Every structure is written in C-alpha cells, then in structure tokens.
Amino acid sequence: MLPDCTDPIQQFEQHLRSERRLSTHTIKGYLRDLHKLDGWCEKQSLSLLQLDSQHIRSCLTTLHRKGLGGRSLDRWLASLRTFFNYALKQQWLKANPAMAISAPKSAKKLPKTLDTDQVASYLAFSAESWIDCRDLAIIELFYSSGLRLSELTALNLGDIDLNDQLVTVTGKGNKSRQLPVGSHAIRALKAWLTRRREFANNDTRAIFVSRQGKRISTRTIQERLRLIGLKQNMDGKIHPHMLRHSFASHLLESSGDLRAVQELLGHANLSTTQVYTHLDFQHLAKIYDQSHPRAQKK
C-alpha cells in the first residue's frame, strides 16, 4: 500500500511531530539523516520505498567514503530503521531493509596524555596564595593516585592518611579502594590542610573547599586546571582525566604490570585498562625510531 501523499518523509515527519511529540531538534536529526538517503536515491533513480538491504549498504559505503565516521553512520542507520519501521506499520513495506546492517567501527581514539616533562612544567608554579596551594594539592593528587574527578571532589578529611600515605576513594558502583599517595602529593596536601582551616566551614568535611568554605565543585576544578594550563603555556586544554591517563600511562611504561594499573584505576574489566598498552606501545615505537640505527629516517 502506497503512502497517502507523494512524500513519505513528510508523512513520517508529521508522525514524529503529532503522534510521538518529539522535540524539534530530534525531528531535524531524523530528517537530516533521511534526506541523505533520499539524495542518494535520486542519483540512482530509486524511491525510498523501493530499497532493499543492498541499496542501504551501498549508500552507507558512499557516506563512509565521504568521511562519515562510525558513530555518525550508527545514528544514520538508527534513523533509517525508525523510518522503515513506520513504513511497515503503514503497510508500505513488507520488510525493514536497514534492520540487519551495522556501521563500520570508528578507530578507537587513544586518551591524550602528558609526558613526564610536561607534567613537571605544569606543576612548576608557586603555591603562595591559598588558591594556588589548594590547586597544587589537587593536581598532585590527581597525578599521584590516578583519581577520577568525582572521586577527588568527594574526598573527606578522614579519607586521607598522611602518615601511611594512603587515600581511600569511592569509585563507580560504590566500590572503595585504597591508593598510595606519592611524597610530592603528601607535601602539597599538608600545606593545603594548614591553609584550609582559614576557609572551611565548621560543618564541612570536604578536603577541598571553595572560597565560600563549601565542598569544591567538579566544574570549578575543571576550570582551575584549564586556567593553570594557560598560565603555564601548556599545549592544548588540560583536564582532570588527562592527569588520570598520564598517571596510568607512566605507571605502565615503568612497570609493565597491567593488572596493577587496573586495580589502581578501579577498572572492573581489564579490557578498559588495555587502552594504555597502546599508549605504551606508542612510547616504545618513538624510542625505537629515535634510537635504532636502521630505523632512523634520512
């Protein structure tokens, strides 16, 4: 059965708007994806309701060659499936031609890290003011122990053991783990805890507080790290997760112990931690290129 109007996309849009009551932004996304397919159909002298799975694969290949990545193509296919499912309910089609098709996987982006010299440059600022004293302790702790941003902001006074140089954090899934804290971070923390008394409210248990004496927000930490990066003339934006990635990468480079890094990061699955083996290989490849007499380029 053919649609009531000559334009099935127009009828689909009306369905999304009046029956499903989707937002204008979401509807625009669906229509943008469908018009990509419709444009391809015009070049092939086909209509949307004549397509089979081979046609969809052919269009997908064309879009991929034009530069669309895996995530964009996944969304495109999802829009197509929704449209063709609507066409099935309207009895315009007998099968959904996009149902069994998957997009090519995007290349996995490796997390950005700082090398050890860059970390040293980033941390080379005077901590005379109370805010710089606090920020130095935050950055040292991020890099020393590989904490997540949420883990660091949630820290309370009882979570740090300065004598044993340990910090107890609560990670994803409400799981607690104990982590070692390096001597540089301990020194910075001691300096900050002395200054903290000047600002913290009496009922505030948080280690890191704002100017108002309350627990510091994640947004404030992100902004402070970014500003310090600008002040220290760092390349690119510095953020908390970059310090966590740098911690993991440098630890793996030195130890080669993936299981230990997994435990320290609080990853439930080893596969999550394995991304750092790629970073480690990049480091080794760079050393090889610089050092091997038969690898050096003329």
Residues serving a catalytic function are 148, 172, 241, 244, 267, 276
CB 207 within 8 A of CB 160: yes
Q: Report how far residue 101's alpha carbon sits from residue 54's, in angstroms, rounded to the nearest whole number.
A: 9
Six-digit token string for 155: 């820290």
Strands lying side by side in the sheet with 176-180:
160-161, 166-170, 176-180
Q: Give the list of residues 6+ apart from residue 167 with CB closer than 8 angstroms, or none.
A: 141, 145, 147, 155, 159, 160, 161, 178, 179, 181
Six-digit token string for 18: 């009046």
What stretches of 159-214 adopt beta strand conformation (E)?
160-161, 166-170, 176-180
- SS3 call for 166: strand
